[in-house]
Structure formats: structure tokens, C-alpha cells
Amino acid sequence: MFDRLVGFIREQYATKEFIPLHAPVFRGRERELVLDTIDSTFVSSVGAYVDRFERDVAGFTGSPRAVAVMNGTAALHIALVLAGVERGDLVVTQSLTFVATCNAIAYCGAEPLFVDVDRRTLGLSPAALDAWLEEHALVDDAGVCRTRVDHRRIRACLPMHTFGHPADLDALIAVCERWKLVLIEDAAESLGSYYKGRHTGTFGEIGVLSFNGNKIMTTGGGGMVLADEVVGKRAKHLTTTAKIPHPYEFFHDEVGYNYRLPNLNAALGCAQLEQLPAFLASKRALAERYIAFFASTDLQPIVEPEHCRSNYWLNGVICESPAQREALLKATNEAGVMTRPIWALMTRLPLYANALRGPLDNAEWLEARVVNLPSSVTPEPA
């Protein structure tokens, strides 16, 4: 079967060479727009492409405001700062995620609180969150969610839309409202993914995108904060050294961050965004071919959840057993077709090993079985 899978993947990319998990594709005006920034000398913190990229991403996602920053991790950090996360706070998230989600929490001096994911969405489970809070938390007279034992503040909830598949947002919103948690979406992987017709990253108070080289589109390195006008304005201020606008005076009214996205990267982003609809179509078609292929096997492809349209950024399968996972990883990688296991759970990393947590059965089950498959945009038919 693995030979057949390797042959199938080679067919998709029409090559006998090494096939990476995810490589960027530059088929549009990337060269033209990037060269334009060089010709103009505006490659850095000033230039028109940043404004345009922010407007274009806001338009694409339907977010009132989009603020460009230097990477997705910085966007997550700023989102948590804007949500009022402070030293000593807890922030609920999933253990099945990329490490940046938790690192951003640590940058605030806060700590992650891990609850389980759903097997269908691979995203934070609203039922698991509600159950943990029911047993271990209360909302105090001031309307602040706190742990029962030591009264630590639980400030925010940070679900992640794994591989571009939306988490169960309606239910998460309801649980967050009930427990007074600020909802922030780690939508780093889900540009082009929709939940009930609305773009991911626009449901929470703040949403975060990434344009790292391995994401569905890239700026080289980059990220975006999605928010309403008021929070978005603050995000812009905080990520640009908190300078009060003035023709020549330097005055900064708080400790700001230099997190802005250079114009050079924004130009690449503008050109990539023009191609995003084509990328999404290519990925959906590839996902459909993967799903058809796996129908005759005992591996289960990961498909978009109900009421959702996923970007199918990264295709994945659920193996029947941990042993099958090992065999699949070995056979494909030895054949020059790159596949990867899902991340080790955050609770296994020494830095988060002592974090508070609920039961993580689904996360552990998935960790032992999920393998990601090559998912780059496929070559155009000759």
C-alpha cells in the first residue's frame, strides 16, 4: 500500500525528485512587486505595500481591521497583550499545536492551561473546556474567571484551527461567554478557511494569521492581527513602537514593540494574495484526490468538519495504529517523499511539562496516529 501511496503522490507532483511537505509557489507578480520596493528604496518600515497588504487581507477575510507584523508568533504575542493577559494569568489552549501558540502565552509571563481537542476538528474541545472549568473554576463577583483552589485568573482561550480545519467555534464562543474568557483564534494555518460561511480568525476578539514560508501563502516571514477598529488601532500602535504620530517629534507613550512587517515582505504578500483563490482551488482538488485514494485503504483522511470550508493547507491521515504510523513515515521518507508526524504534545516538552491540564485522551490518540502528507500547490497542467 505504501508503494502505491508513494506512486500516487509522485503522480500529483509529476516528479521523480524529492517531494517536500510544503513548498511555496511563486507564479504571479512576486518578482515585479518585490523589485518595485527595491527600485523605490522603500524596503523597510515605510512604504505603500504594508497598507495595501493590510487592506487586502482585511478585505479577503472580512475583518474590520488587519495589522501586519513580522511573524505569526509576534501576532499571537500582541493578541494576548491586547486581550489583557498579564503575568501569572492562565490562558486555555490545546496541547496538540505548534509550540508558538504556547510560547506567546509564556512571553506574557502567563501559563498555558491545556484541555483536550475533538477528534473530528483536531481543535480545542468546547465540551472538554466547559467540563474542566465546571470542576476547577468559578466566576467571581467582579466577573473574573478564577481557579477554585488558588484563585488564579483565567483570562483568555486560544484555540487553534489545526491544518486549516476550523474548530467548533459556535460552541467555543458560548463557553467563553459563560466563563468570561476572551476568545483569541490562532488562525495561523487557516487563511482561506470558513466556519458557517465566515472566515476563521474573525470570530474571536482577536485572530492571528501567519505568512511563514510553509503556510498557504507567504511573505517570507510575516503575520497579521485581525480585530475590530478599536483593538486594531491599538495593535498598530503597540507593534510600531507606540509612537505618537508627529511630523518630526519622537514621543512614545508606552513600551511598544518593533513588530512591524517590512515593506519588502508586504510586497511579496500582495502578490501572493492575488493568487490565493487559485491556491485554494488547487489544494481542494488535491485533498479530494487524497480522499478518493484513501477510500480503498485502512487509513482515514482528515476531512473538513461539518458546516466548514477548510483551506486544506496540510493534508493528513489517521493511521490505524502507532505501528502503522511508524511504517508509513519510514516508507515514504525513505522513498524521498516527505511526510511528518503531528507535533509532540506541548505537555511532553520540558518547558510545559508542569502546566495545568485536563484529560488529554484525544490529543494523545491523535498524536500517536496522525501523519501529514505533501500538500504544496500542485504544478499547473502543461
Total residues in contact with ligand PLP, by rule CB under 6 A: 14
For ligand PLP, which stretch binds (CB under 6 A), given 82-90, 98-106, 107-115, 127-135?
A: 98-106
Report the nearest approach of ligand PLP to the CB of residue 11 (Å).
Answer: 28
Q: Which is nearer to ligand PLP, 202 or 210 (CB)?
A: 210
Query: What 3-state class would DSSP assign to 311?
Result: coil
Report the nearest approach of ligand PLP to the CB of residue 80 (Å).
Answer: 12
The answer to whether the beta carbons of residues 8 and 374 sit under 8 Å apart is no
For ligand PLP, which stretch binds (CB under 6 A), given 94-102, 244-252, 286-294, 325-333?
A: 94-102
201 part of the interface to ligand PLP, by CB under 6 A = no
101 part of the interface to ligand PLP, by CB under 6 A = yes
The answer to whether the beta carbons of residues 231 and 244 sit under 8 Å apart is no
What radius of gyration do the chain's Cα atoms show?
Answer: 21
Beta-carbon neighbour count of residue 316 at 10 Å? 26
User: For the chain, where are the alpha helices, taking DSSP H only?
Assistant: 2-13, 30-40, 48-61, 72-82, 99-107, 126-136, 169-179, 229-239, 263-294, 322-334, 361-367
* Residue 350 DSSP code: G
Task: Select the residue interacting with ligand PLP from 37, 63, 73, 362 (CB under 6 A).
Answer: 73
223 part of the interface to ligand PLP, by CB under 6 A = yes
| Binding map of ligand PLP across residues 156-195, x = CB under 6 A, - = no contact | ----x-------------------------x-xx------
Cell of 282: 488547487
For ligand PLP, which stretch binds (CB under 6 A), given 66-74, 224-232, 290-298, 322-330?
A: 66-74
Q: Which is nearer to ligand PLP, 165 or 325 (CB)?
A: 165
β-pairing, 223-227 vs 65-69, is antiparallel
Q: Which is nearer to ligand PLP, 186 or 304 (CB)?
A: 186
DSSP 128-156: HHHHHHHHHEEE-TTS-EEETTT--BEEE
Q: Using CB under 6 A, list all residues that contact ligand PLP.
A: 71-73, 97-98, 100-101, 160, 186, 188-189, 210, 212, 223
